[in-house]
A and B are shown apart, each in its own frame.
Chain A
Amino acid sequence: MLLKRQIPLMIVIGVGLLTLFGNFINNESIRDFVDNDATQWFDIIASFAIFLGALNMLKLQLIKIIKKQKNWQYSILAVAGFAFAIFAGFFYRGANFITIADIQDGQLAIVSGIIAEELNETNPYDIKTKIMGSQDEYEIDKLFMTEGNAKLLMEKLTPFVGVINLKSKPWGAHVQTKGSLFYWMFINMITPLGATMFALLAFFVASASYRAFRIRNFEATLLLVAGIILMLGRVPIGNLIPWWVVSIMVMFGIGAIAAPFIKERKILLGIVGGGIIIFIISGTIMGWNQTPPALLSIPIIQDWIFAFPAMAGSRALMIGIALGIVATSFRIIIGLDKSVLGG
């Protein structure tokens, strides 16, 4: 009990209080520990939590394969994908590059030409300048995933250079260097899969808007109108919506608000129709075709809705959420909330 509950609880309280009061204590060692080491420990333990997640995923997929549960065949792909990522991260570096030095007299132009052809550059002169400007050795600005590909270029250059070496980017730097297998995996597997997963949502948002977004009450109407104005006002097409379309929309809006109070449909229709006609006639007389008033411009209306009513709602939500978080954090720090420790 002591080891399983009391000690973790003491850690939560101790670390929580130290982190919180670290903002106010003026002692250098404590400040240094809280601002630097404590945060570093957090980062390191967070990394191990990531490893735990990955290993847990692997364990679940392997259990699915071994016990031949439903769709176990797909789990082989999950395990294979994981293994490939680990292979690219820890066992196969790639990111090979070539360095040259001691170029023989009169051969600089030839060497520059070969390198320019490899790099798909039209002007070898830039490369010649860079080679001449380099002090000890010149690193060719191309990374090769396999040593075999690099050696093809090395064979072309060897007759003209004194010293030619094949090197690799250091372990660690290889995970974000172009030309490494890991980078190839990121660009050609993770990027399309992740991006497309998110892009799928565009279709479902459209489908949901069409099938489920209904004006059942005043609140839903407000939500809908705000959403539509924002969608049209934020994109360039909003500038092109003419003032008379907006005035028609405004009259319909007035009609919708007045509808519960006016029982006679003909009177309501008369007000809305008459309003539209008056708007269009007066706008034409006042030259709104050339200079429409700001109030009848969707982007301007959108700016105002966004800056004030929507902002007020956002602020209320932000303060409300923050109060909840502060209260929960306080409960955790003083040891009242033990649910985070699994009990």
Chain B
Amino acid sequence: METIKKIFILLGSLDRRIIFLIVGLSVLIPLIQPEWVNFPIRPTPESQIVFDEINKLNAGDKILLSFEYGPSTKPEIHPMAIAILKHLYAKNIQVYGFALWPDGNFMSTEAFSEVSDDYDKKYGVDYVNLGYKPGGEAVIKGIASDIRTLYPVDLQGTSINDIPMMKDVVNIEDFDFVFSLSAGFPGSKEWVQYACDPKNIPLSTGCTSIQVTDIMPYVENDQIRGILAGMPGAAEYESLVEAELQKMEIAGKPGEASGMMAAQSIAHVVIVLFIIFGNISYFITRKKNRKG
């Protein structure tokens, strides 16, 4: 018993570099050997709502897809973007890409180029990328009132008058759905406040884990319909889309996020164990100090 107590006291003063090493290994090993661990993915109610809302859309409907993330949050949100695009393309929904972050341009270009060819989608007919404008909520207000004034040309510099699918699009009220891929400000919150609530357009979002608790009140009362929470949310959506594509007999590539869930799970368990051991060590040390 005394030996165990001494071990825990020693653990309490562990050099933080050893902690870094353990965390690093707990992430690296499942990535290098994914076949060692394989966990089934359970969609949460919020992810299911997102999936159902998009599933309700019909061929020819218009969706505004906004890219508000950059390379620093790409591992969490880019897999969502890919899964969403697969779902939208499979249902022949017209996709209009926007970006409220400068990095969003590259993320959107990458996402579109990764998925569009697999589904034989043509630029200007099935999807269009209007790109980034600085200004945050002012840009959203501009989209809510008059897109054509704000975006005279698309990301490639083509006039929107020359793009077939931009013909009848004037403002946000011409869209059937808005989806925000959000990593911070400006993001889903601003879409709710300045466009979707005032104009009553349904909105859904995929965001970084750190924002989820701040966005949840909007989800609870349907201002935002469902939420994809971080990389686990992306993995859940990928599993739902994969099942749907199989039903539609469309071949697809496996999603990125699902393959990383093993690493995520192991890392979480390691951190929980750290917290428990840290507290045990704290109590033992405190008791020892009181006795002394």
**Chains A and B in contact, CB within 8 Å:** yes
| Chain A, 11-61, CB within 8 A of any chain B CB | 23, 35-36, 39-40, 42-43, 46-47, 50
In the assembled complex, which residues on chain B have CB atoms less than 8 Å from the CB atom of A314? 213-214, 216-217
Which of these, B45, B113, B274, contacts A209 with CB under 8 Å? Answer: B274
With an 8 A cutoff between CB atoms, is B139 at the interface?
yes
Check A267 for interface membership: any CB of B closer than 8 A.
no
| A220 to B: closest C-beta gap in Å | 10
- In the complex, whether B133 has a CB less than 8 A from a CB of chain A is yes
In the complex, A277 has a CB within 8 A of chain B: no
Q: Which of B216, B232, B267 contacts A306 (CB 8 A)?
A: B216
- State how many angstroms separate the Cβ of B69 from the closest Cβ of chain A: 11
Contact B70 A194 (CB under 8 A): yes
Shortest Cβ distance from residue A150 to the other chain B in the assembled complex, whole angstroms? 19
Residue pair B278, A210 in contact (C-beta under 8 Å): yes
The complex places the Cα of A47 from the Cα of B141 at a distance, in Å, of: 17
Question: Contact between B275 and A237 (Cβ–Cβ < 8 Å)?
Answer: no
Using Cβ atoms and an 8 Å threshold, which residues of chain B touch A183? 106
Residues A198 and B73 in contact, CB atoms below 8 Å apart = yes
| Contact across chains for A213 and B278 when beta carbons are under 8 A apart | yes
Kindly state the separation between the CA atoms of A205 and B275 in the bound complex, as whole angstroms: 11
Residues of B within 8 A of A206 (CB): 19-20, 23, 270-271, 274
Interface string of A167-187 (1 = CB under 8 A from B): 001101101111000010011
Given contacts A36-B146, A173-B156, A209-B278, contact A235 B139 (CB under 8 A): no
A299 vs B217: C-alpha distance when bound (angstroms): 20
On whether the beta carbons of B274 and A310 are closer than 8 Å, the reply is: no
Q: Is the CB of B264 within 8 A of A235?
A: yes
Is B39 in the interface zone, CB < 8 Å from A? yes
* Docked complex: A184-218 residues within 8 A CB-CB of B: 186-187, 190-192, 194-195, 197-198, 202-203, 205-207, 209-211, 213-215
- Given A206-B19, A236-B39, A236-B40, are A231 and B271 neighbors across the interface (CB < 8 Å)? yes
Chain A contacts for B134, CB-based, 8 A: 43, 46-47, 50
A283 CA to B40 CA, complexed, in Å: 24
- B157 and A172 contacting across the interface, CB-CB below 8 Å: yes
Q: Are B220 and A202 in contact (CB under 8 A)?
A: no
Give Cα A314–Cα B14 distance, bound, in whole angstroms: 35
CA distance A22 to B205 in the complex (A): 28
Please state if B74 and A191 are interface contacts (CB–CB under 8 Å). yes
Q: Which B residues between 232 and 289 are near A, CB-CB below 8 angstroms?
A: 232, 235, 261-262, 264-272, 274-275, 277-279, 282
CB within 8 Å for A36 and B229 given contacts A198-B72, A215-B279, A239-B42: no
Digitize A219-242: 1 where CB-to-B-CB distance is under 8 Å, 0 elsewhere. Answer: 000001001100110111101100
Q: Is A78 an interface residue (CB 8 A)?
A: no
A35 engages B271 (CB within 8 Å): no
Cβ contacts under 8 Å, B274 to chain A? 206, 209-210
Across the interface, which residues of A come within 8 angstroms of B156, CB to CB? Answer: 169, 173, 177
Complex: A85 Cα to B292 Cα, angstroms? 62
On whether the beta carbons of B71 and A195 are closer than 8 Å, the reply is: yes
Determine if A213 and B216 form an interchain contact, defined as CB atoms under 8 angstroms apart.
Answer: no
Name the B residues within 8 Å of A205 (CB-CB).
Answer: 271
- Chain B nearest Cβ from A130, distance in angstroms: 12
A334 CB within 8 Å of chain B: no
Complex: A111 Cα to B73 Cα, angstroms: 42
Which of A194, A198, A209, A235 has the largest number of chain B CB atoms within 10 A? A235
Interface string of B2-21 (1 = CB under 8 A from A): 00000000000010100110
Indicate whether A40 sits within 8 Å of B149 (C-beta atoms), given known contacts A209-B275, A234-B229: yes
In the bound complex, CA of A231 to CA of B229 (Å): 12
A277 to B240, CA, bound (A): 40
Known: A205-B271, A236-B232; 18 extra A-B contacts, CB below 8 A, are: A36-B149, A36-B150, A39-B142, A43-B142, A46-B138, A173-B155, A195-B74, A210-B14, A213-B278, A215-B279, A234-B229, A235-B39, A237-B266, A306-B216, A307-B45, A310-B213, A311-B217, A314-B216
9 contacts between A and B (CB under 8 A): A42-B138, A43-B138, A195-B74, A210-B14, A213-B278, A231-B271, A231-B272, A232-B272, A239-B40
